[in-house]
Structures are given as structure tokens and as C-alpha cells.
């Protein structure tokens, strides 16, 4: 249980750092602190968080109703947009 809690915390921190890294200056600083000076590790962490989030969304689908599912899909789409922007900034 403790491991899943830390995984969730790491996921949210990766998303936060990813959002902050959309800023050029912050991205440059973050890049210097990552292995191989690349954003791949951060992007992979965000993608893993999205995968887990989608899995949970599918399991909870019957409980949330249409409106809830739309909100969750919108959240996932926004996370993937952050991933896309970071990947584009990395090239």
C-alpha cells in the first residue's frame, strides 16, 4: 500500500514538474538536473501516470456517469498535451 501511495505522489509531482517545465527557463534548469540532461525521464513518468489514471478511470467508469467520464477524459487529454509539448521542446 505504501508503494502505491508513493507512486501516486511521484506521478503528481511529475505532472507538476512537467507543467512548470513548459516555461523555457524552468525547462532548462530541470533538464540540467535529469539523467543525461534529457526530459525523457520526466516525460516517461508523466506517461506512466496517465496510463495508471486511465486504468483507474476505466474501472470507475460505471460509477462516474457520462459527465464524470467526460471530465476524466478531458484531464487525461490535458496531461497528454503537456507530454506532447515537452517532447516537442526536447527536439
* Contact (Cβ atoms closer than 8 angstroms) between residue 3 and residue 54: no
State percent of the chain over pLDDT 70: 80
Q: How many domains does the chain have?
A: 1
Residue showing cell 508513493:
6
How far lies 2's CA from each of 11, 27, 42, in Å? 14, 30, 22
Query: Which of 20, 75, 24 lies closest to 42 in space, CA to CA?
Result: 20
Domain that holds residue 53: 2-90
Full-prediction pTM beyond 0.75? yes
Q: What is the pLDDT of residue 23?
A: 95
Banded model confidence at residue 40, pLDDT cuts 50, 70, 90: very high
Q: How far apart are CA 59 and CA 37, in angstroms?
A: 37
Amino acid at each position: 500500500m505504501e508503494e502505491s501511495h508513493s507512486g501516486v505522489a511521484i506521478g503528481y509531482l511529475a505532472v507538476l514538474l512537467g507543467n512548470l517545465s513548459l516555461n523555457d527557463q524552468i525547462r532548462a534548469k530541470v533538464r540540467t538536473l535529469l539523467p543525461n540532461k534529457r526530459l525523457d525521464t520526466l516525460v516517461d513518468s508523466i506517461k506512466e501516470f496517465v496510463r495508471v489514471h486511465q486504468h483507474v478511470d476505466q474501472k470507475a467508469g460505471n460509477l462516474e456517469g457520462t459527465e464524470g467520464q467526460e471530465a476524466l477524459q478531458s484531464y487525461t487529454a490535458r496531461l497528454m498535451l503537456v507530454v506532447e509539448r515537452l517532447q516537442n521542446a526536447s527536439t
